[in-house]
Each structure stands twice: as structure tokens, then as C-alpha cells.
A and B are shown apart, each in its own frame.
Chain A
Amino acid sequence: MDLTLIVVLVILLAVFFDFTNGFHDTANAMATPIATGAMRPRVAVTVAALLNLVGAFLSTEVAKTISGGIIREGPGGVEITPTMIFAGLIGAVIWNMITWLRGLPSSSSHALFGGLIGAALVGAGTNSVDFGVVLSKVVLPALLAPLVAGLVGFLATRLAYRITRRPVGKNQRGGFRVGQIFTSSLVALAHGTNDAQKTMGVITLALIAGGFLGSGANPPFWVILVCALAIALGTYTGGWRIIQTMGGGLTDIKATQGFSAEASTAATVLASSHLGFALSTTQVSSGSIIGAGLGRRGSTIQWGTAGKIVIAWFITLPAAGLVGAACELIARIGVVGLVIDAVLGAGVIVGIFVASRRKPHEQSNALEVDVAMNSVLTRSERRSLLKKRGDELLAERRRMSDESSLFELGAEEEVR
């Protein structure tokens, strides 16, 4: 009974974590095409959601360990109990919600590691965590990822502008919008195959720990399905605050930069996942965007925002860890502690959600208006209004980005 309750709670929470992971990371792939008008916001998040859904089914090779060696788990080490997983997940989810509220892109996997580390420190003592691995797998990559991605993004942007420059006549760079659709989709697909898998791994390990599956079992189909749906739904919900930060808060992105940034993100993420040096997609993506911002002459970077993001990266692990540790402390009381944890966690999550509604971030104003509008207008009125607004918005974006539109490139380009 006791164990069943924990496993059920872990599964529910893991699915919710998957959901927050989805909307937290939509921005990695879709912030730049939305910002340059390559895709309408709704279209962009729909495409990303579908690719995440597909991606989740493509790869079910679940990691052997949840923490990738950070916690000395397995034979000869400590045993990660479902309670620890539960406490760690609460830490990860709460930190994801907080950064979302502030519109900060931070790595969901680092939040998960942080929560688990916190829970393991309390639950199994200081020996349970391998701090050398923390340094080499979390802290140093957090420094290196944006540097590499920034350099690649900067050079790619420089190249793109240099090559498309015309000595006479207007530069034609609208075609980069078409390219953006492909590079962004690639990033979204890669995200789906990576991140849904983590949650599947967590749930499977919880099921094994609870004795519902034999050790070394593959995730049952319903786990894969639920994880895929949760991450896709989260992506579709769209973390608009983070999209705003990445798409406009860091620097004004034009089509050429958007294409270069997303090409760099895709290249770096794929290289890192296949050549044995894992980098966080979120950090790579932010770095590429900053690099692309530096690469265009006359563009400015909001270093204040960039600084906040970097600070958030470095707080992610300890902050999620603190929450995880606190939850583990409470959970050690027993079943009552677990229930207290669950109620507290749910309370904080609802509280953050209410705060996001009541005090709409100035950036998400447009979205709030949309919601309000939906309640007074009829369907067709709403649709025509939305379309008109969408067209105006698109026209405005095109005007601002001052890079000739797709349609000037000729009919055959549009077909492609």
C-alpha cells in the first residue's frame, strides 16, 4: 500500500514534469521562427508538438541510470528509493515553474539532476553524490555550451550575411525564413527523442523499484504513450514567456540570424549527442542566439537579460536541490510526509500558475487579451479578428526585420 502510493505519486509527478519540460523547451526550437515571422506562433508550437510526439516514439532506449552517474546508484552504491525520486521531481518541477514565471530558459535536465542530488544528500548522505561528475557533467558544460554555440552562431551569421550581400541592389534574405522552418524542426525532433526518454526512464525505474516490473525491463507501452502525449501537450501549450525572452528579449532576431542560430543549435546538439560530450539544448540554443546577435552589425544584445539567464543556469542545480532536500526531509516522516509533500508541491504549482494569471508579465499581455477575447466573441468573429491581427503582426514583423519577404523571391521559392 505504502509503496503503491509512492509509485503512483512518482508517476503522476513525472508526467507533470514531462509536461513542464515540454513547454519550457518549446522556445529552444521555435522562438526564432516565431520572432522572424517564418511561422505563425500557433503553427510553430503545433509543429514542435507533433515532432516531439513523433520523437518520443522514435527512441525508447531508456537510460540505465536516472542521474547519469552523478549519484552513485546501482550495485555497490546507494539505492535510489522511490521517495527520493519523488522529492527530486518536486524540486525539478517547482524550479521549472519558477523559471517559466520569470521567462528564463533553463535546463530541465539540470533541474531534475538538482532535485535528485538534493534528495540523495538528505536520504543517503554526502557520499551518495559524486561531485567530480557534477563538475564535469553539469557545471563545466554549462560554461562551455553557450561559448561553443555562441562562437558557431556568430561565425554562421557572419558567413550568411557576407555571402548574401549584393554589391548593387537590395539584399534578398527573405528565403532564410524557409530554411528556418527546417532547422527549427530538426531541433524540435531532437528534443522529443531526448527529453521524453528521461521521464520514461524515471517512471520505469520507479516501477522497477516498486516491484511492478522486473529489473532491466523496458518501459511498457502505456508509459511511452503517456510521456509522448505529456511532452507534446506541454510543447503545444507553449511557454510563451520563454519564447518572448529567447525570440526578442535577448536581441532582435532577423531571418538571417534566426536561420544561422538554429542551424548552429541543431549542429551543436547533434554533434554533442553523438560524439560523447553532452551539452544542454537550452544552453546551446541561448548561446547560438546571442552569437547570432553579435554577428549582425548594428544589432544590440540585452546583456542584462543574458546575465539573468546565466545566473538562472547556475542556480538551477542548487535551487532544485534545496527543494528536493526539503521534500525528502518531510517525506522521511512516512506516508503522512509524502502526502504533505504532495499537497505542498501542488499548492506551490497552483500558486505560481495563479501568479502568472493575476500579474501578467508585460510580455504575455497579448496572450491574456486573446483569452479574454475568447469569452465574449463568437467563433467566426474571433477567427476573423485573429486572422486580421495575425496578418498585421506578421506585416509588422516583416517591416521590422527589414529583410525582403518570401514572396519577392518568386513563385518557385514558395513551392519549395
Chain B
Amino acid sequence: MINWGAFLLVALVSLVSAGALVTIYASGLRLLAVDGRPRAAVVGAYACFTVCALGVLFGIYLIVPALHAS
């Protein structure tokens, strides 16, 4: 009656994607907070933010049906 497979899939995917987004964004923030702000850390931080931005863009892609017309 209830589609447990789909439910588990949803739970798992949300867990992984939210976890990944938060991990990457938080890593970026942590890298910015490294003492003395070495160049590598700043570059790494912005790389993290870029990945997050891509994640948000993927979210928009999923929201707008015209982009993934079936």
C-alpha cells in the first residue's frame, strides 16, 4: 500500500545530498577561518563555494520542469 522503497530512496537521497551540501559549505567556511588565511586555504574555500553554487543550480534545474522535459 505504501511504497517503502520509494520512501527509503527519498530518505537516503535527502540525507546524502543535504549532508554533502552542508559538509562542503562548512568546509569552505572553515578554510576561510584558517589562521593567517594562507592562499591555498582561500582558493580551497572558494572551490567549495563554487561546488555549492553548482549544487544550487542543480536544484533549480530540478525545480524548473522546462529544463528536464521528459
Of residues 39 through 55 on chain A, the ones whose CB sits less than 8 Å from some CB of chain B are 55
Closest CB in chain B relative to A268 CB, distance in Å: 4
Question: How many angstroms between the C-alpha atoms of A413 and B14 in the bound complex?
Answer: 28
Docked-complex contact B22 and A263, CB < 8 angstroms: yes
Of residues 71 through 86 on chain A, the ones whose CB sits less than 8 Å from some CB of chain B are none
Docked-complex contact A277 and B59, CB < 8 angstroms: no
> Which residues of chain A are near B32, meaning CB under 8 Å?
172, 175, 409-410, 413
Assess A58 versus B66: contact at CB under 8 Å? Given A136-B1, A186-B56, A270-B59: yes
Docked-complex contact B18 and A186, CB < 8 angstroms: no
Docked-complex contact A172 and B14, CB < 8 angstroms: no
Question: How many angstroms between the C-alpha atoms of A169 and B35 in the bound complex?
Answer: 9
Closest CB in chain B relative to A93 CB, distance in Å: 27
Contact stretch, chosen from A150-158, A225-233, A315-323, A324-332: A150-158
> Which residues of chain A are near B17, meaning CB under 8 Å?
267, 270-271
Docked-complex contact B63 and A271, CB < 8 angstroms: no
Docked-complex contact B22 and A135, CB < 8 angstroms: no
Docked-complex contact A182 and B56, CB < 8 angstroms: yes
A-B contact count (CB 8 A): 132
Of residues 361 through 410 on chain A, the ones whose CB sits less than 8 Å from some CB of chain B are 409-410
Of residues 1 through 51 on chain B, the ones whose CB sits less than 8 Å from some CB of chain A are 1-3, 6-7, 9-11, 13-15, 17-19, 21-23, 25-30, 32-33, 35, 37, 49
Closest CB in chain B relative to A270 CB, distance in Å: 5
Docked-complex contact A152 and B66, CB < 8 angstroms: no
Question: How many angstroms between the C-alpha atoms of A169 and B10 in the bound complex?
Answer: 39
Question: How many angstroms between the C-alpha atoms of A307 and B42 in the bound complex?
Answer: 44
> Which residues of chain A are near B10, meaning CB under 8 Å?
148, 268, 271-272, 275, 277, 279
Docked-complex contact B6 and A164, CB < 8 angstroms: no
Docked-complex contact B65 and A58, CB < 8 angstroms: yes
A140 (CB) vs chain B CBs: closest residue: B2
Question: How many angstroms between the C-alpha atoms of A277 and B27 in the bound complex?
Answer: 31
> Which residues of chain B are near A190, meaning CB under 8 Å?
59, 63
Docked-complex contact A267 and B14, CB < 8 angstroms: yes
A109 within 8 A of B: no
Return the contact of B6 from the options A156, A166, A277, A410 (Cβ within 8 A).
A277
Return the contact of A416 from the options B13, B22, B49 (Cβ within 8 A).
B49
A159 within 8 A of B: yes
Closest CB in chain A relative to B23 CB, distance in Å: 5
List 21 A–B pairs whose Cβ atoms lie within 8 Å, in order of A's numbering: A58-B66, A132-B1, A148-B14, A151-B11, A156-B18, A156-B19, A163-B27, A163-B30, A166-B30, A175-B32, A176-B26, A182-B52, A190-B63, A263-B18, A263-B21, A267-B18, A270-B17, A270-B63, A279-B10, A410-B32, A416-B49
Known pairs A140-B2, A160-B26, A271-B9; list 14 more (Cβ under 8 Å): A136-B2, A152-B19, A155-B19, A157-B22, A159-B26, A163-B27, A169-B33, A169-B35, A171-B33, A172-B33, A267-B13, A271-B10, A271-B13, A413-B32
CB-CB nearest 10 A-B residue pairs: A267-B18, A163-B26, A268-B14, A172-B33, A277-B6, A271-B13, A156-B22, A267-B17, A175-B29, A264-B18
